[in-house]
Amino acid sequence: MNKMGEIRHFLDLNDIDPDVLKSILKKAHALKAQKYNPPQIFQGLSLAMVFDKRSTRTRMSFEIAMKQLGGHTLVMSMDEMQIAGAESVKDTANVVSRYVDGVMIRMSDDTVLKEFAGHCSIPVINGMTNKTHPCQIMADMLTIEEKLGSIAGRKVAWFGDVNNVSNTFIQAAKIFDFELALSVPLELKPDTLPDHVSYCEDPIEAAKGADVLVTDTWVSMGQEGKAIDKFRHYQVTPALMAKAQDTAIFMHCMPVHKDEEVAQGVLDSTANVIYDEAENRLHAQKAILAWCLEEAGVSVSQSSFNFGNA
Ligand code: CP
Ligand code: NVA
């Protein structure tokens, strides 16, 4: 619990002070620099991880983040838990809170995740819902800073579907002060676009002068069978990359569906940074966990990682 008596949940970027998010990014850079000498700040702490969908990166990065920093993990599939039967969200949240120091959940329904967090006395981290994917976008911000030096003032162009990842890029544009050009089929254009976000039906216009081109699957988990023809015009191709800055990078949260949302030629190019982006999930996760756990009623034992100094 922090000084205000609030639990440090990491559920939605819009719920967290932008300065805190920037301080988490700064810690992520510092922890990446200590990749081979990780500070043992999570000794004695446990993180539960609960999934209602598949995962490679989220599961591995959280598990390794906790363990490299001295902590423990417990992974569960939601369908193996009593919550899949008759046990209530409230009882589950209260019981989980008695066993571990934090919980990361990948849960489709954003509202249920927030209800769960409301009953928890430990920090809850959003490991992706159908609406948002905040941990992914923290890793993406880390990657952009690492590759391009800064995020503020950059142009990021998003292509393809509107989904949990694009929704979180929209939030991040204001928080981290970059311009986001959203290039998606007209029928998917959001009704309202916040400051820093513009709609570009034409992908070539969106790519012009961009520093970052980013896309994601056209068929998110749970949408199997969805028609994809309307997205074909929005594939990220070498021709599209050629409209961007010479230094532009290509990003994707993965898993990739090559020759659907991205052409093989882009994946083969030096602009492709997706493996660094995936690695950065680990470093971002460490910093998110450190922030969540720092004042959560347990002792994070290295004062050099006090977020008050961020
Ligand atoms: N990007 C991402 O969240 O990957 P996983 O689904 O493998 O966790
Ligand atoms: N939009 C994708 C992201 C996967 C990491 C999905 O929800 O399946």
Would 2 be classed as within a structural domain? no
**Cβ of residue 58 lying under 6 Å from some atom of ligand 1:** yes
φ/ψ of 264, rounded to 5, equals: -55, -35
223 lies in some domain? yes
| Residue 82 Cβ contacting ligand 1 at under 6 Å | no
- Ligand 1, residue 54: give the atom nearest the CA: 6
- What ligand has the least distance to the C-alpha of 220? 2
Examine residue 154 and state whether it is found in any structural domain, yes or no: yes
Average per-residue pLDDT for the chain = 94
Whether residue 41 is contained in a domain is answered as yes
Contacts with 276 (C-beta within 8 Å, 6 or more apart), sequence order: 143, 146, 147
Residue 66 in domain: yes
Confidence at 38, pLDDT banded by 50, 70, 90: very high
- For the chain, the domain total comes to 2
As a whole number of Å, the end-to-end CA separation of the chain is 18
Q: Is 215 in the pocket of ligand 2 (CB under 6 A)?
A: no
What are phi and psi for residue 303, nearest 5 degrees?
A: -65, -20
- Residues spanned by the domain of 127: 13-133+281-296
The answer to whether residue 310 is domain-embedded is no
Ligand 2 site, residue 167, Cβ cutoff 6 A: no
Is 308 a domain residue?
Answer: no
Higher pLDDT, 124 or 296: 124
Q: Average pLDDT for residues 83-104, to the nearest whole number?
A: 97
CATH number, domain with residue 98: 3.40.50.1370
Q: Taking the CB of residue 12, how many other CB atoms lie within 10 A of it?
A: 18
Tell me how far apart the alpha carbons of residues 157 and 293 are, in angstroms, rounded to a whole number. Answer: 34
Counting every residue, how long is the chain? 310
Q: Is the pLDDT of residue 296 over 70?
A: no
pLDDT at 3 over 60: no
Mean pLDDT in residue range 260-270:
98
Count of C-beta atoms within a 10 Å radius of residue 23: 17
Residue nearest atom 6 of ligand 1, based on CA coordinates: 55
Residue 128 within a domain: yes
- pLDDT computed for residue 5 by the predictor: 57
Give the pLDDT score at 245: 98
From the DSSP assignment, how many helices (H) and strands (E) are in the chain?
10, 9
Domain shared by 30 and 45, yes or no: yes
The dihedral through the CA atoms of 68, 72, 77, 83 has a sign that is negative
Is the CB–ligand 2 distance for residue 216 below 6 Å? yes
